[in-house]
Structure 1
Amino acid sequence: MSNEKAPRVPPLPREELTDPAREVCAFWGEPNAWEEGSKTNVINVMAQHPPLGKVYNEWGKHFLMENSLALRQLELIVLRVAWRVKSAYEWHNHVGYAINCGITLEEIAACQEEPIVFAWAEQDKAILDSVDELLDAGRVSDPTWAILSKYYNRQQLMDLVFTIGHYVMTSWALSSFDVGLESPDPIGFDLKTKSGNTPGATYKPMETEDWTSTRGY
C-alpha cells in the first residue's frame, strides 16, 4: 500500500506554506487549513504546485460535489475504479461515502468482482461495465451506451465518462506520488480495518459541519 512508503511527493510542510499554497489547502473549507495546511494528504501534496492544485480543486469539486449523477452511481464508479487500478487511498475514502449514500457492504464487495456476477440492477451494471470498457478499450461500447441512455440524459452521460477519467487520473497520481492514507485505521480491499472495526459512513468536505471528525482526523 502506498501509505507504507516514503512519499515521492510529500505534503507541503507548514513552514513552507505560501498564500497560493494556502488557497489550495483551504479550498474545501477544512478548519484551520489556511493557517496550518490541510490534514488531507492529497490536498497538501497538491499545495506543492499551487497553479495545478487550484485547478485540480475546482475540477474535482464538480465530480465530487456537483455531479449530475446520483450519489449511488458516482460512488459505484469510484469504487470500481479504485479496485481496478488498486488505489488504496480512493478505496478507503469512498467506502465510507458509499455507505453514507445507502450502498451496502455486500454491494461494495461486489464492485471487486471479475467477471461481475452480482445481481445488479441493469443501470448499475452498465455503470460498472462502462468503467471496465474505458479502462480496457478506451471507449464505452455501443451496447453499454444504449443501456445507459435509457436512464441518463446527455449531461449525465458526459459526467459519467469524465468522472471515470477523473478518478483514474487521481488514482494514478496518488499511486505514483506514494500519497499515504491519513487514517490510522485504513479500510482494506477486504473491507476489514486494521483495528477490526466494521467500516462506517463518512462525510465529504463541507457536507456537515463536523465532516472531518468522521474521517479520523
Structure 2
Amino acid sequence: MSDIKPRILPLPRAEWTDDAREVFAFWGEPNAWEEGSKTNIISVMGNHPPLGKAYNAWSKHLLMENTLSTRFLELIILRVAWRVKSFYEWHNHVGYGLNAGLTLEEIAAIRDYPKGGAWSEVDKVVLRSVDELIDDGNLSDATWDTLGKFFDKHQKMHLIFSIGHYVMTSWVLAVMGVQIEGGADQIGFDLKTKSGKIPGKTYKPGETEDWVDTRGY
C-alpha cells in the first residue's frame, strides 16, 4: 500500500469560489457544489479552477465518450497504472475494470504482462502499445499495422491520447501527492484490499443511481 506525502492539499473551504465549486460539481457528485467533492483529485484541482475545468472536460471525454470499448480502455489504464506505479489510478480502476468484464485473474495478468494471461491478438497489441509508448515514446510500425487490423482511425487516435492522458494524470497524482480517499478500502498492486475483502465492481459517474456508494467513501 502507498504512503504518499501531499504537496498540494485540497482547496480549503474558506477559498472556495463559484469557479472552484464548478470543478467540484462537474461529475454530478451529490451535494458537491455545497459540500465539495469527496474525490481527492477533484478537490485538489479546485486550487486552479481554469485548469480544473479543462481537465474535467477532457477527462470526461476520454472516460465516457471514448470510441474504444470500455474493456480496452481499462486494459490501457490498468497497464499504465502498473507501469508508472500509480496506486491511485490502480485502486480506482480495478473496480471499473471488473465492471467492464475483466476478472481479477485478468487484471493480475495485465500487471504481469507479457507473462501469463490468455490474451487475444488485439488484447496483446493494446497492452504492447502502452509499453512501447512509455518505453520508446512511439509505436513500432509492426504495432501500428496490427492496431489497424482491429481499430479504425478514430479508435487509434483515442488509444494514443488515452495512454498519454493516463500517464499524465499519474504524474500529476504522484507529484502533487494526491492520496487515496479516506474511507476507501485501498486495493494494492497485489489485488488485496486493506480490509482483506475481495475487490468488487465500481461504477463511473452517472452510470448507476448509486454510483457514488460503490466507491466506499
Q: Under a length normalisation based on structure 2, what TM-score does the superposition of the two structures give?
A: 0.96
Partner of 1:98: 97
For 2:117, the aligned partner's letter is F
**Distance in structure 1 (CA, Å) of the matches to 2:79 and 2:174:** 16
Partner of 1:147: 146
**Distance in structure 1 (CA, Å) of the matches to 2:11 and 2:186:** 22
Partner of 1:210: 210
Equivalence map 1:10-89=2 (5 Å) = 10-89=9-88
**Distance in structure 1 (CA, Å) of the matches to 2:66 and 2:115:** 25
For 1:70, the aligned partner's letter is S
Bigger shift: residues 77-86 or 115-124: 115-124
- The CA deviation string for residues 9-38 of structure 1, in whole angstroms up to 9 with x for no partner, is 111122221000000000000001001110
- The CA deviation string for residues 87-108 of structure 1, in whole angstroms up to 9 with x for no partner, is 0000000000000111011110
- SS of the residue corresponding to residue 143 of structure 1 reads helix
Over the aligned positions, Cα root-mean-square deviation in angstroms equals: 1.1
- SS of the residue corresponding to residue 189 of structure 1 reads coil
Partner of 2:189: 189
How far the C-alpha of 1:117 sits from its partner, in A, is: 4.1
Against the structure 1 CA distance between its residues 54 and 121, is the aligned structure 2 distance closer, same or farther, given a 3 Å change threshold?
A: same
- SS of the residue corresponding to residue 119 of structure 1 reads coil
Structure 1 runs, 4 residues or longer, greater than 2 Å off: 114-119
- SS of the residue corresponding to residue 212 of structure 2 reads helix
- SS of the residue corresponding to residue 112 of structure 1 reads helix
How far the C-alpha of 1:213 sits from its partner, in A, is: 0.2
For 1:196, the aligned partner's letter is G
- The CA deviation string for residues 50-104 of structure 1, in whole angstroms up to 9 with x for no partner, is 0100100011001111100001100000000000000000000000000011101
How far the C-alpha of 1:184 sits from its partner, in A, is: 3.3
For 2:204, the aligned partner's letter is K
- SS of the residue corresponding to residue 38 of structure 2 reads coil
**Distance in structure 2 (CA, Å) of the matches to 1:205 and 1:11:** 20
How far the C-alpha of 1:113 sits from its partner, in A, is: 1.5
For 1:205, the aligned partner's letter is P
How far the C-alpha of 1:114 sits from its partner, in A, is: 4.9
**Distance in structure 2 (CA, Å) of the matches to 1:77 and 1:46:** 24
Mind listing any 5+ residue stretches in structure 2 that lack a counterpart? none
**Distance in structure 1 (CA, Å) of the matches to 2:119 and 2:142:** 17
**Distance in structure 2 (CA, Å) of the matches to 1:54 and 1:108:** 31
Q: Percent identity?
A: 67
- SS of the residue corresponding to residue 170 of structure 1 reads helix
| 1:109 has 2:98 as partner | no
Against the structure 1 CA distance between its residues 79 and 54, is the aligned structure 2 distance closer, same or farther, given a 3 Å change threshold?
A: same
